[in-house]
Amino acid sequence: MSHSNAILTPAGRLKLARCVVDAHLPLRRAAERFNVSVPTAARWAGRYVELGEAGMLDRPSRPLSCPHRSSARIEHRVVGLRTSKRWGPARIAYHLHLNISTVHRILHRYHCPPLRFTDRSTGIRIRRERARRYEYAWPGEMIHVDVKKLGRIPDGGGHKSLGRVAGEANSRARNLTEGAPKNRGLRRGYTFIHHAVDDHSRYVYSEIHGDETKETAAAFMRNAIAAFAAHGVKIQRVLTDNASCYRSRLFAQILTEAGIRHKRTRPYRPQTNGKVERFNRILLEEWAYAQTYTSEAERQACYPNFIEHYNQRRPHTALKGASPISRVTNQPG
């Protein structure tokens, strides 16, 4: 494609050709006038005589012939094996004694879909559903709630700072259970981070706890409702997975008293709660494993600053660079 300010745009070429063909201007004079070489002026004049104004357009750079291209017989054999046997490029290449890249190019040239997009029994292309992106119109219409479990860092550092052997020995030497009984569902050596992410603004309210029992989940939900209410956000729906703490009567009672509708994801389908799962990934990359901590207390001390930075200043790609707080209406003050 020609540059918009170039001398020989299609309109400029047409002027040059008409000066030579229609006005009978010598090639050298026409070349000097348009500041091009004589062969260039002769080329555009010849195309104008042959094709008219259509000859002034750019031609594709693709060569007219390719001496190294596979023969039609080879291409038909490749496509035939793909259609009848439903073999992959590597197996077809081994069978026909070809390079795998050559088979790839042939299949791509004939628009053969990848095997993962076809039915194995019939070879018919399967229509894949694209991931549907949705976003509620107002803050509070949908809140995504989840728990992220992280291994606690023993005092003195874990395997990231001391190495695998020394870190595991340090972890075994120090008791991280804090005297919690196992029969209440508490896991030894883990920290449970409870999140509540607003679907529209991506504003998050989060707390760090030592378990994920129904009492803890219910208390967190009560605090989350109050935290969003402080920003003028009335929660209408809550989306959780099917964990036991979210199926308890205590958790349902908290939502019922606040007039909130409870929705659950499909079993073994975490994509449904994708916004809070994406926040879990941000949490790991920008806080949990962003630096080397020497203790769990040191890591947890940095968590409020991380949440404040995420809500107030961090640009969010789904919000076109805006921060989550910019979408929360009726902020205090």
81 Ramachandran zone, left/alpha/beta (phi>0; psi -120 to 50): alpha
Those residues whose C-beta lies under 8 Å from the C-beta of residue 27, and which sit 6 or more positions away, are: 20, 38, 41, 42, 45
Handedness of CA 10, 11, 12, 17 (dihedral sign): positive
| CA atoms of 212 and 150, how far apart (whole Å) | 12
Give which of 301, 306, 304 is closest to 287, Cα–Cα.
306
pTM: 0.59
Give which of 49, 99, 56, 48 is closest to 74, Cα–Cα.
99
pLDDT digit string (tens) for 230-266? 998 999 999 999 999 999 999 999 999 999 999 999 8
Cα-based distances in Å from 295 to 11, 112, 170, 194, 251:
72, 55, 11, 20, 32
Token pair for 143: 């809140």
pLDDT digit string (tens) for 111-157? 998 888 887 767 778 766 555 678 898 999 999 999 999 988 877 76
Provide the pLDDT confidence category of residue 59 given band limits of 50, 70 and 90.
confident
pLDDT digit string (tens) for 61-120? 888 788 888 899 999 999 999 988 888 899 899 999 999 999 999 999 999 988 888 877
> What are the respective helix, strand and coil percentages of the chain, to the nearest 5?
50, 10, 40
**pLDDT at residue 329 in the model:** 65
**pLDDT at residue 166 in the model:** 58
